[in-house]
Amino acid sequence: MCAERMQRIVLAIILGINMGLAATNPKIAFLVQLAVIVLLLVGGFTGKCLSLEMLRSFLPPCDASAKDRT
Protein backbone atom coordinates (compact mmCIF):
# COMPACT_ATOMS: atom_id res chain seq x y z
CA MET A 1 0.00 0.00 0.00
CA CYS A 2 1.34 3.42 -0.89
CA ALA A 3 0.79 6.77 0.82
CA GLU A 4 -1.39 8.43 -1.82
CA ARG A 5 -3.81 5.50 -2.02
CA MET A 6 -3.96 5.23 1.75
CA GLN A 7 -4.75 8.95 1.96
CA ARG A 8 -7.74 8.50 -0.36
CA ILE A 9 -8.98 5.53 1.68
CA VAL A 10 -8.67 7.44 4.96
CA LEU A 11 -10.43 10.46 3.44
CA ALA A 12 -13.30 8.27 2.25
CA ILE A 13 -13.61 6.72 5.72
CA ILE A 14 -13.64 10.17 7.36
CA LEU A 15 -16.33 11.40 4.98
CA GLY A 16 -18.40 8.25 5.58
CA ILE A 17 -18.22 8.69 9.34
CA ASN A 18 -19.08 12.35 8.87
CA MET A 19 -22.27 11.38 7.02
CA GLY A 20 -23.35 9.40 10.07
CA LEU A 21 -22.42 12.28 12.37
CA ALA A 22 -24.53 14.67 10.30
CA ALA A 23 -27.64 12.75 11.32
CA THR A 24 -26.78 12.47 15.00
CA ASN A 25 -24.62 15.49 15.81
CA PRO A 26 -24.62 18.14 13.08
CA LYS A 27 -22.30 20.54 14.94
CA ILE A 28 -19.47 18.02 15.12
CA ALA A 29 -20.13 16.95 11.54
CA PHE A 30 -19.82 20.57 10.43
CA LEU A 31 -16.49 20.96 12.23
CA VAL A 32 -15.10 17.72 10.75
CA GLN A 33 -16.21 18.77 7.28
CA LEU A 34 -14.68 22.22 7.74
CA ALA A 35 -11.37 20.66 8.83
CA VAL A 36 -11.32 18.41 5.74
CA ILE A 37 -12.08 21.39 3.48
CA VAL A 38 -9.31 23.48 5.06
CA LEU A 39 -6.77 20.64 4.72
CA LEU A 40 -7.68 20.11 1.07
CA LEU A 41 -7.50 23.84 0.31
CA VAL A 42 -4.13 24.20 2.02
CA GLY A 43 -2.82 21.23 0.07
CA GLY A 44 -4.20 22.59 -3.18
CA PHE A 45 -2.79 26.08 -2.82
CA THR A 46 0.58 25.25 -1.25
CA GLY A 47 1.32 21.85 -2.76
CA LYS A 48 2.07 20.50 0.72
CA CYS A 49 -0.54 18.10 2.04
CA LEU A 50 -0.10 17.61 5.78
CA SER A 51 -1.89 14.27 5.93
CA LEU A 52 0.11 12.95 2.98
CA GLU A 53 3.40 14.02 4.55
CA MET A 54 2.44 12.18 7.75
CA LEU A 55 1.54 9.04 5.80
CA ARG A 56 4.79 9.19 3.83
CA SER A 57 6.72 8.96 7.10
CA PHE A 58 5.75 5.29 7.36
CA LEU A 59 4.44 4.39 3.87
CA PRO A 60 6.32 4.71 0.58
CA PRO A 61 5.04 7.06 -2.11
CA CYS A 62 3.16 5.40 -4.98
CA ASP A 63 5.83 6.25 -7.53
CA ALA A 64 8.74 4.90 -5.46
CA SER A 65 8.74 1.53 -7.21
CA ALA A 66 8.68 3.20 -10.65
CA LYS A 67 11.74 5.29 -9.77
CA ASP A 68 13.62 2.20 -8.64
CA ARG A 69 12.98 0.45 -11.96
CA THR A 70 14.43 3.20 -14.15
Which pTM value belongs to this model?
0.76
pLDDT at 70: 46
Give the whole-angstrom CA distance, residue 21 versus residue 4. Answer: 26
Within 8 A by CB and 6+ apart from 52, the residues are 3, 4, 7, 43
Q: Quick: pLDDT tens for 19-29.
A: 999 999 999 99
The contacts of residue 15 (CB under 8 Å, 6+ apart) are 36
Cα(65)–Cα(70) distance, integer angstroms: 9
Tens of pLDDT, residue by residue over 38-62, are 998 998 999 888 888 888 898 888 8
Which run of H or E residues covers position 31?
Answer: helix 26-46
